[in-house]
């Protein structure tokens, strides 16, 4: 099999192959097998990406969503725009209410207010990027204030017992994690958005000892020596095993789960074992260029297969395949499962990649509108960077939250164009600059009707000029 053939072949774990023979220089083991390294990158990709994302949320002074420390909360003050570069494939559909969690010493208690919104969901993940949705408006939650207690298997002195006044006790699959609430702010309705913004400011986080007002003694949280974070490709090239070791040390593995067993077994061969201290002097030597190359290869493969996995991404432990796990992380870390949202791409009718050298139109009739129980949106991106395309109107999305105008038959026509077509409603125009720039157009369907979705055909981009 050639390298190109291998890159596009289905992912494999290579279990049937003979053990790798490492080449040694007398001091440190060298790993030169591309197949072995590819499996390590595949199995380690979610851990590295999520450790990187959580580091940005908890510790970065430059990340606009930073909580500036553990067990703190980021409360949004407005919608994202094209200046946001902290997360890939951002959206203006929902506001992010983020709590970063260090659950080693004590449980953390978060109080969520009721929200006057058509859609709110609460998502959690630890460093393994397994996704849980403890609460969602799709299940009737957030109509009243709700208190959630978060803990892990390693939380000192607590094992999940009920606590007076706590509505939900939720266990994370690791002791470092995030609780990530999405709130649709109804930005097309200024008064309603103002109410929702006020509600967001009433969310709070505190340790269990503070919540119980001295009924239990506060526990001192030991310092955590977080690994490097920042540029994802650099982490794979220069800090790969270090970051995976850190993530493993803060992850609860389930040996009855095939995915967990496979990850632990793959890294055990190179000395990365849960509970072990990373020692760069003893770590195997790996060619950084090969790691960087494999990072790009695995990410590209996963992104190219995201459409195939629209309905089985972003799931909890025990419900993911390796392919869907990778597609989840490569698409956008901390996305939602299909029960909450699906993210189909809008492709061109002629099969050519969309480019800003041309204008495009998208038409949906009343009978072919996206099948949702909450709301939908269509968002335009720079197809290379995954960020919004700058424009003076800060208009990147068409939909209920970002603004749209239906036609007299209940359908919609959306324009992606350098100049607004004369007959087009302003709400339905997504501006571009006339230049050679690849575009990406994504639909988001919140609380989708999955039965209707099975037979629904997404619209196409029709080239104009």
What pLDDT is stored for residue 7 in this prediction? 34
Please give the C-alpha separations between residue 230 and each of 53, 197, 297, in angstroms, as whole numbers.
8, 30, 20
Would you write out the chain's pLDDT as a tens digit for each of its 465 residues? 222 333 333 343 333 333 344 444 445 567 778 999 999 999 999 999 999 999 999 999 889 999 999 999 999 999 999 998 888 789 999 999 999 999 999 999 999 999 999 999 999 999 999 999 999 999 999 999 999 999 999 999 999 999 999 999 999 999 999 999 999 999 999 999 999 999 999 999 999 999 999 788 888 888 899 999 999 999 999 999 999 999 999 999 999 999 999 999 999 999 999 999 999 988 999 999 999 999 999 999 998 988 899 999 999 999 999 999 999 998 888 999 999 999 999 999 999 999 999 999 999 999 999 999 999 999 999 999 999 999 999 999 999 999 999 999 999 999 999 999 998 999 999 999 999 999 999 999 999 999 999 999 999 999 997
What pLDDT is stored for residue 29 in this prediction? 66
By C-alpha distance, which of 135, 36, 80 is closest to 394? 80
Spell out a b/e string for 177-200, using b for 16 or more CB atoms within 10 Å of the CB, else e: bbbbbbbbbbbeeeeebeebbebb
What pLDDT is stored for residue 20 in this prediction? 40
The fold adopted by the segment(s) 344-464 is Jelly Rolls (2.60.120)
Q: Of 1.10.10.10, 2.60.40.1610, 2.40.50.100, 1.10.101.10, which CATH number belongs to 63-211?
A: 2.60.40.1610
Entry pTM: 0.90
What pLDDT is stored for residue 210 in this prediction? 96
> Where would I find the beta strands (DSSP E) of 63-197?
72-74, 95-102, 108-112, 120-126, 132-136, 146-151, 168-171, 176-183
What pLDDT is stored for residue 33 in this prediction? 86
What pLDDT is stored for residue 19 in this prediction? 39
Distance of CA 124 to the CA centre of its chain: 10
The rounded distance, in Å, linking the Cα atoms of 182 and 74 is 12
What pLDDT is stored for residue 28 in this prediction? 59
Written as six digits, the tokens of 6 are: 């291998």
List phi, psi (to 5°) of 161: -70, 150
What pLDDT is stored for residue 25 in this prediction? 47
Sequence ranges of the domains in the chain: 3-52+230-331, 63-211, 344-464
What pLDDT is stored for residue 88 in this prediction? 78
């Amino acid at each position: 099999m050639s390298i190109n053939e291998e890159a596009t072949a289905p992912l494999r774990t290579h279990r049937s192959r003979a053990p790798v023979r490492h080449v040694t220089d007398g001091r440190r083991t060298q790993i030169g097998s591309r197949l072995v390294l590819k499996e390590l990158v595949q199995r380690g990709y979610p851990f590295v990406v999520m450790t990187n994302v959580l580091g940005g949320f908890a510790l970065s002074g430059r990340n606009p969503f930073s909580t500036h420390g553990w067990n703190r909360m980021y409360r949004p003050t407005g919608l994202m725009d094209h200046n946001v570069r902290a997360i890939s494939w951002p959206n203006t559909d929902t506001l992010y209410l983020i709590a970063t969690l260090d659950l080693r010493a004590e449980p953390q208690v978060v109080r969520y207010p009721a929200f006057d919104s058509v859609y709110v969901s609460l998502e959690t993940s630890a460093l393994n990027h397994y996704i849980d949705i403890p609460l969602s408006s799709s299940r009737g939650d957030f109509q009243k204030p709700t208190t959630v207690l978060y803990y892990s298997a390693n939380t000192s002195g607590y094992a999940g017992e009920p606590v007076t006044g706590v509505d939900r006790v939720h266990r994370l699959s690791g002791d470092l994690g995030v609780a990530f609430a999405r709130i649709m702010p109804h930005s097309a309705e200024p008064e309603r958005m103002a109410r929702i913004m006020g509600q967001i400011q009433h969310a709070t986080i505190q340790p269990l000892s503070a919540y119980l007002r001295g009924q239990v003694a506060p526990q001192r949280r030991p310092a955590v020596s977080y690994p490097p974070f920042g540029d994802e490709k650099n982490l794979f090239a220069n800090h790969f095993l270090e970051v995976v070791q850190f993530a493993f040390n803060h992850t609860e593995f389930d040996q009855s789960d095939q995915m967990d067993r496979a990850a632990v077994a793959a890294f055990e061969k190179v000395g990365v074992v849960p509970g072990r201290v990373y020692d760069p002097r003893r770590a195997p030597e790996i060619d950084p260029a090969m790691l960087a190359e494999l990072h790009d290869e695995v990410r590209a493969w996963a992104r190219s297969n995201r459409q195939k996995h629209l309905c089985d991404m972003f799931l909890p432990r025990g419900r993911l395949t390796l392919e869907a796990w990778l597609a989840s992380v490569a698409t956008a870390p901390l996305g939602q499962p299909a029960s909450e949202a699906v993210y189909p791409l809008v492709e061109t009718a002629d099969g050519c990649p969309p480019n800003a050298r041309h204008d495009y139109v998208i038409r949906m009739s009343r009978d072919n509108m996206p099948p949702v129980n909450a709301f939908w949106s269509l968002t335009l991106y720079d197809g290379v960077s995954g960020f919004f395309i700058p424009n003076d109107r800060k208009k990147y999305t068409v939909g209920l939250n970002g603004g749209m105008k239906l036609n007299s038959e209940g359908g919609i026509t959306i324009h992606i164009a350098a100049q607004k077509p004369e007959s087009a409603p302003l709400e339905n125009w997504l501006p571009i600059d006339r230049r050679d720039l690849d575009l990406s157009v994504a639909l988001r369907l919140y609380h989708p009707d999955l039965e209707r979705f099975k037979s629904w055909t997404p619209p196409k981009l029709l080239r104009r000029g």
